Chains A and B, each alone.
Chain A
């Protein structure tokens, strides 16, 4: 309070000067603070943009994959096994099936590589290249593709048929430039002649970039990485989500209804409440340990099975659903309950006929959010053996399977980084697309249900 001691106008001017100075400083601080806020938001938005930009720019090209189109001659001299056994020649369907199997084995043993090679040479008549280098151009699954054409229609024997076979992963890298094209020969995956042929093919249209439907229809493949797809992982995830929905929704809603509408307030229900809140924050990997110790080791359920994955994810999703359903129940006006009780409905009837239907939009949203969360979870699945390489589509929830996020984990670790970085990004796009779809459905359904209510 020294300033009050100074008398007169001089003191007033001095004060005004001090206030003016401090105001400048304070306003400067205000601007700085505001800019700090704007910069933080910009940083957060920037991270979103960079993340999605990276994924999209890397992943989208992977959906268009170099495919070789050429005329394949199904040479009767090369294809063994003779004509396909006719059903009429055999006494029982089992005998016929056995003969067909023998025939298919014989056909498979034919020199399909030779057919591929001849076809490719036809497409580039004047090109000098060794057989081995030539075959490097197309995926090693190409020969099975030709064989399957023959299986489906044995009439093609002796004919020339236009076929489309995926180029190998290395060819795809070379043509897309995901491998450094200026690297010297010894650092390249393909021989110089193969690379030159690939370029020539791309120029004359023999190789074109076609939409890679096989990403959605094929399973993972190690021997022919170009044909690796997500179908197996997708089915694994689907089974797990079915298990999660079938178990987590009824159990979650039932416990929420009990805790919110029926439970007496005592130590036990307090304990359950604290417990649910804590369970929601337990790291997901701990649920994986629980699954490994209890479901696999103690109950002897099979490893890698979507059923076990689904059970683990159910336990993880339960708290989300319980907490959201309780919030929805709490939002139902008490007048509704009082009206129902007043008209003579029993406690159960009040809850199940009047209160619970009001919460459907909330429960639905919580379910979809929970499922979306479970869909993206990876760590617990690694512990219950779902990271094994599975080369077929699981037929049921007890078959070995992998899941979409685990497939992403497996692909990012593949040795052919140049090819699989893009493929991993493509898998991420599929996963994020599914999650986006789920959330869009949640928003849509909620707005419709709320309108009706």
Chain B
């Protein structure tokens, strides 16, 4: 209902103001010898902007502040001792009044005080809504009035509209910056709150991960040693790279240097299908197929391999990363100048010698960059390890045993009834910060290497 009223108001403002700007500017030029600087549509658009922007600002302010205003209004209705209680009790009292006012009712009989507050709140709500709508409409009308007074043949309406468009474009491109800023600030602030419980030394150099279940009143906060998780992450990434780099690199080499164009046009898209499959599907694949297969294989050759282990997760993650490595290496191999290859072949080297001794050394920095990008993707990968790594955060060297990673622990600590105040859930942000820093470092390094490599051959 409220949303409909607001939408209708904005729509009416838009149509009326556009029409006013458009028709008035046309009338100026109509049949006379004056020439408008801008076409009527720009005058219309400018008038619409003048009318809509103030209205939208008012509505936006209301959306931001209505909650705190209504809260303080309700508190003012209730006796003073209510406001002196604990914050959550105050909040409960306020929501009780709101529930009574909404007509859905509450548990227990409402006190006369509450009923009175609720009816006051209900009329306040109605009045404030009407007031805001009226204010928005009035400001819109004022804006429109001003805009139409300004309309003149020499008004540079197009330039003004274009400036506004430019500003809107700039605002959109800051979203990306704000996102990064939001990530860094939210991770940092919550991580700092976590470090007020646990010393950073214990976190970064601890060897035991045992956060305990969060239960109010229990004295012990648990142990939060990062090293077991970090080691699990590194081990799984190494296994993934051992699978992905040889297969990905060799298929890229074969497809770009040996394969017939027809084969290439069929095989390349098929391999790239692997990149489009959601990670949860890989996780399920690891759990249902690869894990049992590896553990069966282990039985045959006499090694005890657990079905959910670092090995399972690493192998499947490697499969996921194959197309990533192969398409990046393909690009990079394509950038090595043809003359180098032709020179080597002309001197009598076989094709594989050309590749191994000329192409690959020339492409090495780029390939290293690609592998680093792949590593950063591997350490940030979540669903495969959640399902297939076995979730056992113990420092172990054996890849055939279950393990756990940074990402798994973030998921474990933040799913469930997290209340963002206990170290048990705050630790997720410290882990996230570590993860973010690691991937950022790897990416910056990798992009730097790849760029250097490109410059070399440009």
A4 at the binding interface (Cβ < 8 Å): no
Inter-chain contact A285/B432, CB cutoff 8 Å: yes
- Collect the chain B residues with CB atoms within 8 Å of residue A29's CB: 350, 352-353
A227-266 vs B, Cβ < 8 Å mask (1 yes, 0 no): 0000000000000000000000011101101110011000
B410 at the binding interface (Cβ < 8 Å): yes
How near does chain A come to B427, taking the closest CB pair, in angstroms? 12
- Collect the chain A residues with CB atoms within 8 Å of residue B166's CB: 258, 262, 348
Inter-chain contact A41/B255, CB cutoff 8 Å: yes
State whether A54 and B414 are in contact (beta carbons under 8 Å apart), knowing that A41-B255, A289-B428 are contacts in the complex.
Answer: no
Q: How far is the CA of A439 from the CA of B273 in the complex (A)?
A: 11
Tell me which residues from 172 to 199 in chain B have a Cβ below 8 Å from any Cβ of chain A.
Answer: 172-177, 179-180, 182-183, 186-187, 189-190
Inter-chain contact A383/B287, CB cutoff 8 Å: no
B376 at the binding interface (Cβ < 8 Å): yes
- Collect the chain A residues with CB atoms within 8 Å of residue B407's CB: 283, 285, 379
Inter-chain contact A255/B172, CB cutoff 8 Å: yes
Which single residue of chain A is at the shortest CB-CB distance from B244? A44
Inter-chain contact A54/B350, CB cutoff 8 Å: no
B235-271 vs A, Cβ < 8 Å mask (1 yes, 0 no): 0000000000011111101110010000000010011
Contact with A272, one of B176, B377, B379 (Cβ below 8 angstroms): B176
State whether A278 and B279 are in contact (beta carbons under 8 Å apart), knowing that A44-B247, A44-B326, A45-B267 are contacts in the complex.
Answer: no
Inter-chain contact A275/B176, CB cutoff 8 Å: yes
Give the segment of B49-57, B104-112, B224-232, B435-443 that binds chain A.
B435-443
Give the segment of A78-86, A168-176, A203-211, A292-300 that binds chain B.
A292-300
A315 at the binding interface (Cβ < 8 Å): yes
Q: How far is the CA of A383 from the CA of B287 in the complex (A)?
A: 22
State whether A255 and B175 are in contact (beta carbons under 8 Å apart), knowing that A33-B352, A409-B383 are contacts in the complex.
Answer: yes
Number of interface residues of A (CB under 8 A): 86
State whether A258 and B289 are in contact (beta carbons under 8 Å apart), knowing that A276-B176, A297-B420 are contacts in the complex.
Answer: no
How near does chain B come to A99, taking the closest CB pair, in angstroms? 21
Inter-chain contact B176/A379, CB cutoff 8 Å: no
Q: How far is the CA of A340 from the CA of B254 in the complex (A)?
A: 46
Inter-chain contact A382/B415, CB cutoff 8 Å: yes
How near does chain A come to B279, taking the closest CB pair, in angstroms? 7
A1 at the binding interface (Cβ < 8 Å): no
Tell me which residues from 374 to 403 in chain A have a Cβ below 8 Å from any Cβ of chain B.
Answer: 375-379, 382-383, 385, 387
State whether A55 and B410 are in contact (beta carbons under 8 Å apart), knowing that A33-B355, A40-B247 are contacts in the complex.
Answer: no
Interface majority SS on A: helix, strand, loop or mixed? helix
How near does chain A come to B122, taking the closest CB pair, in angstroms? 21
- Collect the chain B residues with CB atoms within 8 Å of residue A127's CB: none
Inter-chain contact B177/A272, CB cutoff 8 Å: yes
State whether A376 and B352 are in contact (beta carbons under 8 Å apart), knowing that A48-B270, A283-B382, A293-B190 are contacts in the complex.
Answer: no
Tell me which residues from 90 to 110 in chain A have a Cβ below 8 Å from any Cβ of chain B.
Answer: none
- Collect the chain B residues with CB atoms within 8 Å of residue A298's CB: 186
Contact with B254, one of A34, A375, A431 (Cβ below 8 angstroms): A34
B317 at the binding interface (Cβ < 8 Å): no
- Collect the chain B residues with CB atoms within 8 Å of residue A290's CB: 179, 182-183, 186-187
- Collect the chain B residues with CB atoms within 8 Å of residue A27's CB: 350
A39-63 vs B, Cβ < 8 Å mask (1 yes, 0 no): 1110111011011001100100000
State whether A294 and B271 are in contact (beta carbons under 8 Å apart), knowing that A348-B165, A382-B415, A431-B278 are contacts in the complex.
Answer: no
Inter-chain contact B351/A30, CB cutoff 8 Å: yes
Which single residue of chain A is at the shortest CB-CB distance from B428? A289
B351-385 vs A, Cβ < 8 Å mask (1 yes, 0 no): 11101100000000000000001001101111100
State whether A377 and B350 are in contact (beta carbons under 8 Å apart), knowing that A278-B440, A285-B410, A315-B179 are contacts in the complex.
Answer: no
Contact with A40, one of B187, B254, B414 (Cβ below 8 angstroms): B254
- Collect the chain A residues with CB atoms within 8 Å of residue B379's CB: 283
A76 at the binding interface (Cβ < 8 Å): no
| Contact-residue size bin, chain B (C-beta under 8 Å from the other chain) | 35 or more
Q: How far is the CA of A375 from the CA of B280 in the complex (A)?
A: 11
- Collect the chain A residues with CB atoms within 8 Å of residue B418's CB: 292
Inter-chain contact A262/B169, CB cutoff 8 Å: yes
A341 at the binding interface (Cβ < 8 Å): no
Q: How far is the CA of A252 from the CA of B169 in the complex (A)?
A: 10
Inter-chain contact B436/A282, CB cutoff 8 Å: yes
How near does chain B come to A237, taking the closest CB pair, in angstroms? 11
State whether A379 and B284 are in contact (beta carbons under 8 Å apart), knowing that A44-B247, A283-B382 are contacts in the complex.
Answer: no
- Collect the chain A residues with CB atoms within 8 Å of residue B142's CB: none
Tell me which residues from 360 to 378 in chain A have a Cβ below 8 Å from any Cβ of chain B.
Answer: 372-373, 375-378
- Collect the chain A residues with CB atoms within 8 Å of residue B176's CB: 255, 272, 275-276, 279, 318-319, 322
Q: How far is the CA of A348 from the CA of B170 in the complex (A)?
A: 14
B373-414 vs A, Cβ < 8 Å mask (1 yes, 0 no): 100110111110011000000000000000000010011001
How near does chain B come to A279, taking the closest CB pair, in angstroms? 6
Q: How far is the CA of A425 from the CA of B289 in the complex (A)?
A: 12
A416 at the binding interface (Cβ < 8 Å): no
B447 at the binding interface (Cβ < 8 Å): yes
Q: How far is the CA of A34 from the CA of B147 in the complex (A)?
A: 74
State whether A383 and B435 are in contact (beta carbons under 8 Å apart), knowing that A44-B247, A290-B179 are contacts in the complex.
Answer: no
A93-135 vs B, Cβ < 8 Å mask (1 yes, 0 no): 0000000000000000000000000000000000000000000
Which single residue of chain A is at the shortest CB-CB distance from B315? A47
How near does chain A come to B294, taking the closest CB pair, in angstroms? 13
A36 at the binding interface (Cβ < 8 Å): yes
State whether A47 and B322 are in contact (beta carbons under 8 Å apart), knowing that A286-B435, A290-B183, A424-B284 are contacts in the complex.
Answer: yes
A217 at the binding interface (Cβ < 8 Å): no
B118-141 vs A, Cβ < 8 Å mask (1 yes, 0 no): 000000000000000000000000
B92 at the binding interface (Cβ < 8 Å): no
Q: How far is the CA of A283 from the CA of B420 in the complex (A)?
A: 21
- Collect the chain A residues with CB atoms within 8 Å of residue B175's CB: 251, 255, 315, 318
State whether A272 and B173 are in contact (beta carbons under 8 Å apart), knowing that A33-B355, A286-B436, A383-B414 are contacts in the complex.
Answer: yes
How near does chain A come to B405, taking the closest CB pair, in angstroms? 11
- Collect the chain B residues with CB atoms within 8 Å of residue A58's CB: 288
Q: How far is the CA of A235 from the CA of B29 in the complex (A)?
A: 53
B277 at the binding interface (Cβ < 8 Å): yes
How near does chain A come to B249, taking the closest CB pair, in angstroms? 8
A343 at the binding interface (Cβ < 8 Å): no
Inter-chain contact B273/A48, CB cutoff 8 Å: yes
Q: Across chains A and B, which 8 residue pairs bring their CB atoms closest together, nearest first?
A: A283-B380, A376-B278, A37-B254, A255-B173, A254-B172, A40-B250, A33-B352, A293-B186
Extra inter-chain contacts (18) besides given A378-B382, A383-B414, CB under 8 Å: A34-B254, A34-B352, A44-B322, A255-B173, A276-B176, A278-B180, A285-B411, A286-B432, A287-B183, A292-B414, A294-B182, A346-B162, A378-B278, A379-B382, A379-B411, A387-B415, A409-B280, A421-B288
23 A–B contact pairs at CB < 8 A? A41-B255, A44-B271, A48-B273, A255-B175, A258-B173, A259-B173, A282-B436, A282-B440, A283-B379, A284-B380, A285-B380, A285-B432, A288-B410, A289-B428, A289-B429, A293-B189, A294-B182, A322-B176, A346-B158, A375-B278, A376-B277, A382-B415, A409-B383
